[in-house]
Structure 1
Amino acid sequence: MLIQVLKTLFRRDLERLRDEIDAYTDESTLWYIDKGIANSAGNLCLHLIGNLNTYIGAELGKTGYIRHRELEFSLKAIPKLELLTKIDETINVVDQALDRVTDEQLNDEYPQLVFDKKTSTGYLLVHLTTHLTYHLGQINYHRRLLDV
């Protein structure tokens, strides 16, 4: 049951991410930083894509994805259409990977050390939903404050 809840939440919030990125009227504003805002919406979007493709896609879905985390925050001026395509691909990766996860695996130790101590796969997946939502809120504020 938790797997279905997680799939629903990831899809909902990744679709919201897609809507937020698509709502930017000035594409260059995606990369704008101002007044104490540490990360642009574009970089936060790349970070979320990298995060989910690493911890869900590569580890649980065995996609072979290789993360370049530093690029998530240093790349600039990626076209909006490319970001939207990457979000759509991530939605599919997350869905397919979670289809492979059993209820029993949720209680198993997640194969990678992500935090300061080992966690269960279920714990990490719940964490990833809250991480997505946290940055989604930042992107929403970024858009409403700077895409004028």
Structure 2
Amino acid sequence: MKISTLFATAAIAFAAASAPALAADFEVKMLNKGEGGDMVFEPALTKIAVGDTVTFVPTDPSHNAESMKDMMPEGGTTFKGKINKEVKVTFDKEGVYGVKCLPHFAMGMVALVVVGDDLSNIDTAPNAKMPPKAKERMLPLLEQAAAK
């Protein structure tokens, strides 16, 4: 094998080994009606790894996706999508993140994103301020996340 071919092969192998793993992109639809009833995120529970992205897609009109400040890990980044606009969120901190559609929050339009394995903020999540219908939908999601 020629030295130049050996060097090129070694350089390619090194580059491939040192390249970061590709992060995944998950899609969550914002719907007027879905499997979970009226005004829902689908899926309502998304489990991802640190560095993954969730794209919230307004499949039906008049929805947005935004973080619930009382339901996220310390140091987590908040986000607020505009009405009828797709929003992409990359999650860089492990923990449990509550998500709501502001116009339909009182109707229970909530979702949960679980990032990584550190669920240390899950115990305080049920204490977040929510309308009754939102809490009714969020509590089972928290139970599912805790069950792993």
Q: Higher helix fraction: Structure 1 or Structure 2?
A: 1
Q: Higher strand fraction: Structure 1 or Structure 2?
A: 2
**Taking structure 1 as the reference length, what is the TM-score of the superposition?**
0.29
**Taking structure 2 as the reference length, what is the TM-score of the superposition?**
0.29
Higher RCO (Cα < 8 Å, 6 or more apart): 1
